[in-house]
Structure 1
């Protein structure tokens, strides 16, 4: 097992349509350009689409790894700036609903790449299903993407409340997306923070704002990250600033900072929900 710290960042947002996958992709590219070895796990097993958004074609997915047909290394796609993508199969069983044998296989698969990355970005599905909550709970850092809409704020609050109550998560990093400017982003953050302070004992940390930008929409249509497609655009600049913020986050130094701890936590959470016992690994 690798003893190097790996930053595991779960990107979520409650409701769909808040732009979390775009954040995951562009943040990954920006971190890679800064010298980090980045892997993005597409954890949306209902509508997996990171490979599509990047114009990549996947012939194998993590399902093939679980079936023992190939290694995780063989599944990974290479994207802009050298980021690696672990694609998922849309509409198939969830990664967090596996047998004990598959648990062991998944842990073994990730152990093979543990020394090949510095950052693992987990792009979760929309909503607060068991699968989403398990991924977010197991990650070292939780990055919530929020828009200035009542439903987005309500869903983000619901996720924070659930993770705080059931999993003792106390720290959440917030990105305000599709806002007019940083001032609106900070106001959005303040609104969410004030609601949480009234009812939950958690710490919210403002990570940055991404302005609404037609360049970003154009980049999506062209299947390229806006950071690559329009590097001088306001959204690209904002995403690079956020990546600089991420680079300043302290690296985990204890056991929870290792990639295999994240995978084993993920499996343990799933087993606990289903009333089964996950296999123990050293």
Structure 2
């Protein structure tokens, strides 16, 4: 009872392109920071031009370097003007690096310590060739799948959920719909939830939606969050609403207004 609140680890896997996923994560992190949460955004993807690179935080130490005792944990996080920190898991081939069992254990420990320093750790995640996340803590935490209203995106998102369920077993997954109106998002979620329940015996949770908004793209081009650059934009309203629910409710229990 005397222990502090357990840090939240939310891994986001996307059925969309890297640019749209990065924009969503950055704006969600900035919005969460505005609620008073201490937020860390972790780049756990294998691409050399990942989220940290896009945010200009690619020169700080990686968690893999900490695991190898080449750098200190205090050198890993770079704070951004948007109010949240950014860190990178590794800049090398993850599969080969994780073949060293002791190194993989030290990396997991370093991540565990880092996660305790934030209220919420948002992970820019992807599945490896074995349909797994690089760290066990990501599998035990909350998992959100980003999707749009396009048919190809919905198909890709369902495939991701199917791969995750085959690897992790029956558990809830969150669905975040971006680039769609609330009505479109409701329909996307309803169709996916029905298919997941019928064919996979899985429960999906509606996390909310972010509409198409030219101001969101404009803010990204300016290197700012949309809630800072255009606080009255439709996307800003959506991200503030998302942040409030992410900050105050576990993904497994979340039910956004307007969603079935």
TM-score tier by shorter-chain length is: 0.7 to 0.9
Q: Can you list the C-alpha shifts for 1:47-105, whole angstroms capped at 9, x where unaligned?
A: 44323433445243334323322122212110134311112555x21177241221233
TM-score (ref. length: structure 2): 0.83
C-alpha distance in 1 between matches for 2:172 and 2:186: 18
Q: Which residue is equivalent to 1:249? A: 249
Please tell me whether the aligned partners of residues 18 and 146 of structure 1 are also in contact (alpha carbons under 8 angstroms).
no
Structure-2 change in CA distance of 1:107 and 1:196 (3 Å): closer
Residue 16, structure 1, aligned to residue 17, structure 2: yes
5+ residue gaps, structure 2, are: 253-260
| Greater relative CO, 1 or 2 (CA 8 Å, sep 6+) | 1
Q: Which residue is equivalent to 2:27? A: 26
Q: Can you list the C-alpha shifts for 1:144-202, whole angstroms capped at 9, x where unaligned?
A: 110111221111111212222331142111111111x2111111112222222331111
C-alpha distance in 2 between matches for 1:130 and 1:32: 34
Q: Which residue is equivalent to 1:207? A: 207
C-alpha distance in 2 between matches for 1:88 and 1:150: 32
Q: CA RMSD in A?
A: 2.7
TM-score (ref. length: structure 1): 0.77
Q: Can you list the C-alpha shifts for 1:221-261, whole angstroms capped at 9, x where unaligned?
A: 22222222222211111011111111231499xxxxxxxxx
Q: Does the residue aligned with 1:80 lie in a helix, a strand or coil?
A: coil
Q: Does the residue aligned with 1:240 lie in a helix, a strand or coil?
A: helix
Q: Does the residue aligned with 1:41 lie in a helix, a strand or coil?
A: strand
Q: How many Å apart are 1:21 and its aligned residue? A: 2.2
Structure-2 change in CA distance of 1:15 and 1:115 (3 Å): closer
C-alpha distance in 2 between matches for 1:133 and 1:75: 20
Please tell me whether the aligned partners of residues 54 and 224 of structure 1 are also in contact (alpha carbons under 8 angstroms).
no
Q: Does the residue aligned with 2:94 lie in a helix, a strand or coil?
A: coil
Q: Does the residue aligned with 1:116 lie in a helix, a strand or coil?
A: coil
Residue 110, structure 1, aligned to residue 141, structure 2: no
Q: How many Å apart are 1:120 and its aligned residue? A: 1.0
C-alpha distance in 2 between matches for 1:46 and 1:153: 23
Q: Which residue is equivalent to 2:61? A: 60
Q: Which residue is equivalent to 1:263? A: none
Q: May I ask how many residue pairs the two structures share in their alignment? A: 248
